[in-house]
A and B are shown apart, each in its own frame.
Chain A
Amino acid sequence: MQGVLPKDIIELTPNVYTEPYWLATAEHRLILPRCTTCGTYRFPPGPFCWNCRAQEVEWIEHDGNGTIYSFTVVRHPVIPEVAEALPVVAAVVELPDTGGVRLISNVVDCAPEDVKIGMAVTIDWYDVRENTTIPVFRLAGG
């Protein structure tokens, strides 16, 4: 997979609110927390609904089809550990039918010059190590 950071730089440190998300990504499933009181998605996962302040959520599965909301092509390594992996396309991907939930991810295996705002993307999975998988995206039809 081209266009992702080295595996040893990626370390997940979930808390009680984010752990269900990462347990699901390890199984290659995307789930998002939605308020059981008012139906508002909250992301990143946290203790309160920003709309109604209720706490309880249900986890809703999403198919991971989204659109590129914005992006940058990271070319300069701010730390030497990532130098060989660059450039990477770091993209903000908006997920439809979620009230505007956005994931910050990579668009992989593409020429950075081909990436444009508004393009459709589909989810894929970057298996970092056992029990650690990061969602990434591919240009739809690419």
Chain B
Amino acid sequence: MSADELTLKDKAAIAGVGSTQYYKRGQSVPQLPMELAGKALMNACADAGLTIDDIDGFALYSMGFDTSLFSQWLGIPEVRFSALISGGGNGSAGSVGLAASAIATGQATCVASIMTLQQATVRFGASFAPKGKPGQTYSAPPSPEGNFIQPSGLMGPGNMFAVLAQRHMHLYGTTRENFAEVAISQRANAIRRPTSLQTQPLTLDDYFNARMISDPLCLFDYTMECDGAVAVITVSAERAKDLAQPPVYVMASANGGAGRWGQAITWMGMPDEYFASSGHRPAAKRVYEMAGVGPSDIDVALLYDHFTPMVIMQLEDYGFCPIGEGGRFVADGNIRWPDGGLPVNTHGGNLSEAYIIGMTHVKEAVEQLRGTAVNQVKDAEIALVTGGPASLPVSNLILHR
């Protein structure tokens, strides 16, 4: 088999995207989480010109959901593929790559990547806490590894990423004004969109008057807590040409990272060389190689934004600026839509549109490449989507029209 045959490049395409309304935390009740998933999937089918009867695979992430019950509810004729990327929000972009892999290898023909989230009882903000209210399933019971972490007070993802952000500031002179620029630029994008949960502009004064949550991070450096669902349907590149929407091709996808990145975000033992990073450097190199493009070819970047400093570190790790220059890169206006050189998170992202664990980023990339985005990047041809900076494996996706 030639190397050419061993690539995922352009074998599959996104044919449909759909979502529910987005809700503030808990406000989607009494709908069930998988009910939201079903509604998003039906919207994605309608978008693609497909029906539920066409769906024959699931490619999920962040622990997924019960595809047995889901398929039973919806009467899926035959499930041929059901798999997920390990970890949490790290796998969002990669779940589409997983779907493309299933299609390219003939295991399934029409694969849904879905995220559904309902934070009424489950709060990720306390996901590493040793104790919580009874019934809260995302606190982490004490474990042999957790014993070395939890007694310090690092109990939520924000505490962990604050430690990386502090180191980045120390090494490179990155400032809170730089973090603010990420939050403010994304808010400006969000408030132009009717789907956004945040509807008011954010000023630098608002940012600096906000309460500190975990230094150096304040309230506006954190993602929102939301409910909702987003579904993405991937089919073969050939089939996509005959469906309702212009195909958006899966140019490349990668997931993984260095073994010693490992449990980076909880453990903090990664090598000094890439401690203050997003963990994406190895996967970035591979996705560019598969796509045959480089940073200068990317027209719009949808970078997973659970915390503002991690957007800055991804800009470095994906080569949009040198390592350590991310703060100055955003300060120069580069990530602003429409006039920056690299518009970032044109939908407002997790920070300001809705936090559906990164799947809104895939949806926005598709809309940008169809030319139907609310904050359209002129003539956008190639989009980069990333999954969450996190412990291993991080993931990404390059799409083209």
Contacts and interface: CB of A to CB of B under 8 A. Distances in A.
B126 interface: yes
Contact of B143 (A13, A79, A101, A106): A13
Interface residues of B, number: 46
A106 B147 contact: no
Interface string A84-122: 011010111000000011111110000010000110000
A86 B155 CA distance: 13
B109 to A, nearest CB: 41
A12 B146 CA distance: 9
A30 interface: no
Interface in A120-138: 126, 134
6 contacts: A72-B163, A78-B125, A85-B153, A92-B163, A103-B148, A104-B268
Given A50-B260, A73-B212, A78 B129 contact: yes
Nearest to B213: A76
Given A74-B159, A74-B214, A76-B214, A100 B153 contact: no
A22 B155 contact: no
Contacts of A65: none
A7 to B, nearest CB: 10
Interface in A27-47: 43-44
A82 B147 contact: no
A100 B272 contact: yes
Please provide the 4 A-B residue pairs with the shortest distance between their CB atoms, ordered closest to farther: A72-B162, A73-B215, A78-B126, A70-B167
B151 interface: yes
Contacts of A118: 170
Contacts of A126: 151
Contact of B152 (A13, A75, A78, A90): A90
A26 interface: no
Interface of B: 123, 125-126, 129-132, 139, 141-156, 159, 162-164, 166-167, 170, 211-217, 259-260, 267-269, 271-272, 275
Contact of A71 (B131, B166, B259): B166
Given A15-B144, A90-B163, A9 B214 contact: no
Nearest to A117: B170
Given A13-B143, A75-B212, A79-B126, A44 B151 contact: no
Given A70-B166, A78-B125, A81-B131, A5 B272 contact: no
A74 B159 CA distance: 7
Contacts of A117: 166-167, 170
Contacts of A106: 151-153
Interface of A: 4-5, 9-15, 17-18, 22, 43-44, 50, 69-76, 78-79, 81-82, 85-86, 88, 90-92, 100-106, 112, 117-118, 126, 134
A88 B153 contact: yes
Contacts of A15: 144
B215 A112 contact: yes
A9 B152 contact: no
Given A74-B214, A78-B156, A102 B268 contact: yes
Contacts of A86: 153
A104 B146 CA distance: 10
Given A14-B144, A44-B148, A101-B269, 10 more contacts: A11-B130, A15-B144, A17-B144, A18-B144, A71-B166, A79-B126, A82-B155, A85-B153, A104-B154, A104-B267
B128 to A, nearest CB: 9
Contact of A90 (B131, B147, B159, B216): B159
Nearest to A101: B269
Contacts of B164: 70
Contacts of B159: 72, 74, 78, 90
Nearest to A76: B213
Contacts of A91: 152
Contact of A18 (B126, B147, B154, B156): B147
A104 B214 contact: no
B151 A5 contact: yes
A92 B162 contact: no
Contacts of B125: 78
A69 B214 contact: no
Given A11-B142, A88-B153, A90-B152, A22 B213 contact: no
A104 B149 contact: yes
Contacts of B275: 69-70
Contacts of B163: 70-72, 90, 92
B130 A9 contact: yes
A81 B275 CA distance: 31
A44 B214 contact: no
Contacts of A112: 215
B268 A92 contact: yes
A13 B142 contact: yes
B155 A78 contact: yes
